[in-house]
Structures are given as structure tokens and as C-alpha cells.
Amino acid sequence: QVQLVESGGGLVQPGRSLRLSCAASGRTVSRYTMGWFRQAPGKEREFVAGISWNGDNAYYAASMKRRSTISRDNAQNTVYLQMYSLSPEDTAVYYCAASQTYNGALYVPRTETEYDSWGQGTQVTVSS
């Protein structure tokens, strides 16, 4: 079973950048599709970005397409989410997720049910 641990969250001022990390353990995720989701207070969890196993294919939510970059280091069993120009609307708990279902595929799933393993989340608060 895959364990995912997110890090890098915290309090950041509007307009600044932040990089989140997701470290996987238990088994290698080098063939898994990986994704990031977020949940703001009072809202449902939503897809942010996803990346195929080899990094060749990435997909972003419209709200984050020009303000984030997802990447992965399979040798380190780690996935990253670099976010730019953050605004208070980006305040949320950010979750890392792994999809074994799409093992070795280039398709990037965008719904929660397509992901098998989840981290505990890391809080990102954007405020001056």
C-alpha cells in the first residue's frame, strides 16, 4: 500500500509562490499517475493538477493552468506542485493522490474516484 505525505504548505502572502511536495513510501509510484487536489473551507474537494507516470502528460484545472506546474522525480518517489501568484482564493488543504488504476498510462484522471491512495493534506493559507 502506498503512503503519501505532503509538505510545503503554510502561510504565504498574496502574489507569492509556494512549492508543495508529496513523498511516497511503501512502494514505488514511478508507474502511477499522480495528482493534486484541494479543499477549501465549506467547499468540495477539487482537482488541481495531475501528471502521468513518465511526466510526459500533465493536466491542470482551469483556475491553476497558468499559475502552477506539476512535476515528479521518480527516483525520489516524489511529486511536486509549484504554485505562482497565489491569491486568498487558493487557501485550502492540498492533497496528494496516486492512481494505480492508470499504472503506466498517459491518461491523467481528474476525479477523486479515479485515485486509489491519498495523503493527509497540507494547509495552504494565502493572506496578507
Q: What is the pLDDT of residue 79?
A: 98
Going by C-alpha positions, the residue among 111, 112, 33, 127 that lies closest to residue 79 is 33
Residue 105 has pLDDT above 90, yes or no: no
* pLDDT digit string, tens, across residues 47-98: 999 999 999 999 999 999 999 999 999 999 999 999 999 999 999 999 999 9
Q: What is the pLDDT of residue 71?
A: 98
Q: Are 64 and 83 in contact (CB under 8 A)?
A: yes
Residues 79 and 84: their CA atoms lie apart, in Å, by 17
* pLDDT digit string, tens, across residues 116-125: 999 999 999 9
Q: Which amino acid is at 104?
A: G
Is 128 or 104 the better-scoring residue by pLDDT? 128
Contacts of 102 (CB under 8 A, 6+ apart): 32, 33, 52, 53, 108, 109, 114
Q: What is the pLDDT of residue 108?
A: 94
Q: What is the pLDDT of residue 59?
A: 96
Q: What is the pLDDT of residue 106?
A: 85
